[in-house]
Chain A
Amino acid sequence: MALTSEEEGVAMLAGTDLGGARGVLLMQSSGTGNCVNMLSLIKGGRFPFLTLVSMRGDFGEGNPWQFPMGQAVQPLLEAMGLICLRIDQPEEVVPTVGAALTMVFQSGQAVAVLLTQKLLGAKQF
């Protein structure tokens, strides 16, 4: 389902967990900044939480507007208690996401899988 702002997904997934179900937040790196305060709920509440983040402002980025947030993604998410796993190579995708699923839904952690621009390629402008 689509959100108007990424922070909605953080709150929604906490509600999902309260109901005994599972979900994942898919967002671009620029949206992680919109999540910061709401991640207090995840950390304070010790909610299991998984997000897959497609990176911008990273390897080969051609849009200057993406750099401030792109470079701040990992420090910000780690400051809010998330474990960040970066993926640079295609063959890492399946094992890393599998590892993240175990860390989140078995071990109850908050994990962000960062799909870097080395993996995805940079958008052409």
Chain B
Amino acid sequence: MPALIGRHEDFLVVSGLAGTSRDVAALTEDAAHTYTMAGAMGGACMIGLGLALARPDRRVLVVTGDGESLMNIGALATIAVMNAPNLAIVCVDNGHYGETGYQKSHTSLGVDLEKIAAGSGIKATRTIASQEEIAGGARLLREGNGTALVVLRVKPTDPPAFKRNMDPSACRSRFRAALLGAP
């Protein structure tokens, strides 16, 4: 994932609960330009859209998991229709609900998130399952011709044990202070 994202400071980052928030917090050292979540499952992509529409001058990156995306899969239709050019989504697909005991998610059972995204109308989509494909995916996240979605297929391994601020209000204030200079 770090190779896919590249210089994370180039983005305002929103991450879905569980594994991807730990990944983002570890990668950025819980930086103020990230809003990492430990709840609101299903919300990450739409939070990203709201932020992208509010700040057309900035690149917004949503990093979330397959389970979190599946919970509000209709959001991809809304996101496709709005087609914010500064919005990019990375779906880290390990095919399992890691935080609740690694139950199989639908993506282990045949559901293809890239096809759903493309079928919704997102034009820039890619699935990455090998090292060689990462560079192309990284470029897609930064092209900005329209909303981009990259599915990153990974093995179901444990995320880093990085302690981050889990207070949603403190994180909101911190994010806004860094972005807007105001709480």
Q: Which residues on A are within 8 Å of B, measured CB to CB? A: 1-5, 7-21, 23, 37-38, 40-41, 44-47
Q: Contacts A4-B78, A18-B176 given: A12-B55 contact, CB under 8 Å?
A: no
Residue-wise, chain B 1-19 has the 8 Å CB interface mask toward A (1 for contact) of 0000000000010100000
Q: Contacts A41-B168, A45-B172, A47-B172 given: A14-B50 contact, CB under 8 Å?
A: yes
Contact of B35 among A8, A18, A37 (CB under 8 A): A18
Contact of B42 among A1, A11, A14, A23 (CB under 8 A): A11
CA A32 – CA B72 in complex, angstroms?
A: 16
How distant is B62 from chain A, measured CB to nearest CB, in Å? Answer: 9
Q: Flag whether B159 is at the interface (Cβ < 8 A).
A: no
Q: Contacts A4-B75, A5-B72, A44-B39 given: A20-B176 contact, CB under 8 Å?
A: yes
How many A-B residue pairs lie within 8 Å, measured between CB atoms? 112
The interface residues of chain B, by DSSP majority, are classed as helix
Residue-wise, chain B 28-49 has the 8 Å CB interface mask toward A (1 for contact) of 0000000101011111111111
How distant is A118 from chain B, measured CB to nearest CB, in Å? Answer: 32
Q: Which residue of B lies closest to A20 (CB)?
A: B180
Q: Contacts A7-B42, A44-B39 given: A21-B78 contact, CB under 8 Å?
A: no
Contact of B51 among A9, A19, A38, A47 (CB under 8 A): A19
| Inter-subunit contact B74/A41 (CB<8 Å) | no
Q: Contacts A2-B81, A38-B42, A41-B43 given: A18-B51 contact, CB under 8 Å?
A: yes
How distant is A13 from chain B, measured CB to nearest CB, in Å? Answer: 6
Question: A40 contacts which chain B residues (CB < 8 A)?
Answer: 39-40
Question: A7 contacts which chain B residues (CB < 8 A)?
Answer: 42-43, 72
Q: Flag whether B138 is at the interface (Cβ < 8 A).
A: no
CA A44 – CA B52 in complex, angstroms?
A: 22
Q: Flag whether B128 is at the interface (Cβ < 8 A).
A: no
Q: Flag whether B169 is at the interface (Cβ < 8 A).
A: yes
Question: A41 contacts which chain B residues (CB < 8 A)?
Answer: 37, 39-40, 43, 47, 168
How distant is B123 from chain A, measured CB to nearest CB, in Å? Answer: 19
